[in-house]
Structure 1
Amino acid sequence: MSITGNLRQRLGPRKRAVQTMLSNKVPQFIGAANFFHLNGAFREEQAAVAAGKKKHLEGELDHSNRMFLRRSVHRIEKGLISQPRRDTFAADYIGRTVETAVSFQEILKQDDPGELKWASDVLNRYFEATQNSTDRRIGAARERWLSVGVKDSDNGVGDISGNACELAPFEQPQLSDAADRYQSLTAIAYHRRSVRWFEDKPVERELVEEAAAVGLTAPSACNRQSFRLLVVDDEDLRKRVAEVPMGTAGFSHQIPAMAVLIGQHRGYEHERDRHAIYVDGGLFTTGFILALEGLGLNTCCINWPELKSKNERIRDLIDLDSDERVIMMIAIGYGVPNQLVPRSHKRSVSAVVQWA
């Protein structure tokens, strides 16, 4: 006898009530159990996560996974600052890290010498710190690194402030004039509003890149920063891209530049991290839009709807790999002076912050 029949027999006089309950609740339960399989809204996300895992694994195996390198170097840095620091750590992945760093040398020399110097300086510091380790994996990786490791990695590269230095763990200095800096930051944050009407004036690319540099100071999962920012300023393409998301009707035609933030699942080997691209993307965006405001530009953050039709349409306009997902879009331009903007009153601190 079925579960439904057993319940009806046991409850006797309450048969009608139970029948009503079962007719309402059992389909809901069945639907919940199979929701991700039957509801097409999640299939594209699942496919992207699966594609990202595949790219991650293949890249790790052939030492071509840049996100694996970034994550590994970050993990090594955390080991270097541990208190107390162990003689042996990172042994299970140091060999693959060295091989990946070696394979990326020539690419990073051209593409991002700062990343190359960071990996090199941290690995050099690591092998100094683990000299007393008896783990043969570390010894083999040390020999490999010393034989083919990066030579003269400085190339005039410094930290994010442009100061020439070793790109490895360092002593954090106190922030000077912290109170004044806080006031400047809050002034920019309070001034920024979603602006939808822009002057017919091009957006300087160098200003967008300066703002992106601020956005990239945001924390991310193991410092992977597994996303890219596509800024569309071609007149024809930006109009078509701006029409795709919901919420741009009536003003999409006059947006001077549309930034598309694209997450890349390839940075993650586990499906448990499938939301990391959205967390990291949001952290990047906050600094990015505040920096744009400080540079005299205005922005409007545009939500991306998870609809198959929208995903298909945006893929017809811009190149997206199988593991890439649009996180959001950001309209950028010089706002028309004295325009009305929504007040968008924010929730109070007391309504949001709780203490336990």
Structure 2
Amino acid sequence: MVVMRDRIKAIVPAERRVAIRRLLARVKVFSNYAYDARRYLRASTAGRMADDAERLAAHICMDYHRLEKGMALPSPRHGFGRDVVMRLMRTVGRYEDRYGPADVTAFARGALAGYRRFNAGQLAPEVEGALDAFLSAPMQDGGAGGVEALTSETLFPFDSDAARRFLRSRRSVRQFDGRPVPEAILQDAARIAQQAPSVCNRQSARIFASNRREKMDELLSLQNGNRGFGDRLGAVIVIASDMRAFTSMGERNQCWVDGGIFAMSMALALHSLHVGACMLNWSVEPGRDRALRRCLGIEDHYAVITMMGAGFPPDALMVAASPRRRTDDIIRFV
């Protein structure tokens, strides 16, 4: 290999070699995008029918959340969303016929029940009759879907200075004492992180986690940014996004948005439980992405967003200063 490289250098001028490298880099960029595009088209309903439970659930979430958002407006119009209501009842019925009652259909029924209460006496007879028949069917009772009444006190039940100190105290930690993070703590953090927003409440984010040393070492060997501290981590977390939750070409990048928001929420949740965390980027080419999928059994319809290391920090530790830009540099008022 070295001899061949030397021969190429002797024959091909330097400028020509640079041009060839740039051409190969462009080809590689397109092939990497093609890898992502194929997986998105296979997973999402942008290129196929909603033919399984997860894809149907995504359409149900979109429609019941449309009703929730409408009822949460300052001055909602009675009778809004007639077409959405009729479509939602059909989709929920199709889901329950195939797969039986589920959380997502219970949430949809809850939103439809809230819609009926909001529009009491204001709906067209055919819509009201369809709702009455649908909601009286002997299926799972309505869930928590709909709207909630809050006050400013219940929306902000915290001291602002304490919240500011908490958010500003989060740091990327790279010093750990080596103790495994118990699964109960990881589950608690996940429960807190689930409050993260997602497009139309579709909640595509998923977590693959391990606190077993052998499995962590295998995962970390695929990631380039954990040298010098990976062997002291107490858990390795992989954040992914289920692309079956997305429905159009316009949403082709939404998995990265929703997954990134959830990853930050997970980091803050761990911080609230006194567990240190560090984002471990997953900017890799297809070969390494496939290796991670084999290692964790991650199906192809999941987009891997990022890896995260977590663990208990020692009583005294050093962190990177990581100074921030001046706020005036990152905000523009228009």
What TM-score does the superposition give when structure 1 sets the normalisation length? 0.76
Shift of 1:135: 7.3
**Displacement after TM superposition at 1:251 (Å):** 2.6
Is 1:286 aligned to 2:264, yes or no?
Answer: yes
The structure with the larger Rg is 1
Unpaired runs of 5+ in structure 1? 1-26, 155-165
Residue number among 66, 77, 96 corresponding to 2:90 in the alignment: 96
Pick the aligned partner of 1:303 from 265, 281, 290: 281
Structure 2 unaligned regions, length at least 5: 1-18
Shift of 1:179: 9.4
**What letter matches 1:286 in structure 2?**
M
Structure 2 CA distance for aligned equivalents of residues 238 and 185 of structure 1: 33
Larger mean Cα displacement after TM superposition, 257-266 or 336-345: 336-345
Q: Deviations over 1:207-237 (max 9, x none)?
A: 2222222221121111111121111122211
* 1: CA distance, partners of 2:36 / 2:120: 42
CA shift for structure 1 position 101: 5.9
Q: Residues 64 and 340 (structure 1 numbering): CA distance in 2 closer, same or farther, change over 3 Å?
A: closer
Aligned to 2:11: none
What is the Cα deviation at residue 206 of structure 1?
Answer: 2.0
The residue aligned with 1:189 is 167
Contact 2:179 2:233 in 1 (8 A): no
Are 1:243 and 2:221 matched, yes or no? yes
Tell me, in whole angstroms, the C-alpha distance in 2 between the residues paired with 1:199 and 1:352.
36
1:127 aligns with 2:105: no
* Residue 35 (structure 2) aligns with: 44
**1:213 pairs with 2:191:** yes
Secondary structure, counterpart of 1:258 in structure 2: strand
Whole-Å separation in 2 of the counterparts to 1:81 and 1:179: 20
Q: Select 1:147's aligned residue among 113, 122, 137.
A: 137
**How many angstroms does 1:294 deviate by?**
1.9
Provide Cα deviations, 1:36-59, integer angstroms capped at 9, x if missing partner.
998211111101210122498533
**Aligned-residue RMSD, C-alpha:** 3.1
Rounded to whole Å, the distance in 1 between the matches of 2:300 and 2:45 is 10
Work out the number of aligned pairs and report it: 307
Could you tell me how far apart the structure 1 residues matched to 2:271 and 2:206 are?
Answer: 21
Structure 1 residues 322 and 344: CA distance shift in structure 2, 3 A: same
Could you give the per-residue CA deviations for residues 170-208 of structure 1, whole angstroms, max 9, x where no partner exists? 222113695962222222222222112221212122222
Match of 2:249 in 1: 271
Bigger Cα displacement from structure 2, 313-322 vs 94-103? 94-103
> Aligned partners of 1:285, 1:64: CA distance in 2, in Å?
23
Shift of 1:244: 1.1
Q: What is the CA–CA distance in structure 2 between the aligned matches of 1:304 and 1:65, rounded to whole Å?
A: 29
Distance, in Å, in 2 between the alignment partners of 1:37 and 1:339 is 41
Instruction: Indicate the larger mover: 267-276 or 201-210.
Output: 201-210
Q: CA deviation at 1:313?
A: 1.4
How do 1:1-356 residues align onto structure 2 when only pairs under 5 Å count?
39-54=30-45, 57-59=48-50, 65-82=56-73, 83-92=75-84, 93-100=87-94, 102-103=96-97, 108=102, 117-128=106-117, 129=119, 132-134=122-124, 136=126, 139-140=129-130, 142-151=132-141, 167-175=145-153, 181-356=159-334
Once the two structures are TM-superposed, the CA of residue 322 in structure 1 deviates from its matched residue by 2.3
- Give CA deviations for 1:72-117 in whole Å, capped at 9, x if unaligned: 2111112333424232524252233331563588563xxx5xx555
Instruction: Please say if residues 278 and 308 of structure 2, whose CA atoms lie closer than 8 Å, have aligned partners that are also in contact.
Output: yes
Compared CA separation, residues 269 and 137, structure 1 to 2 (3 A): farther
Q: TM-score, normalised by structure 2?
A: 0.80
Cα separation, 2, equivalents of 1:38 and 1:190:
37
After superposition, the Cα gap between the structure-2 partners of 1:261 and 1:103, relative to the gap in structure 1 and judged at 3 Å, is farther
Equivalent pair of 1:265/1:324 in contact (CA under 8 Å): yes
State the secondary structure of the residue aligned to 2:159.
helix
Residue type at the aligned position of 1:125: G
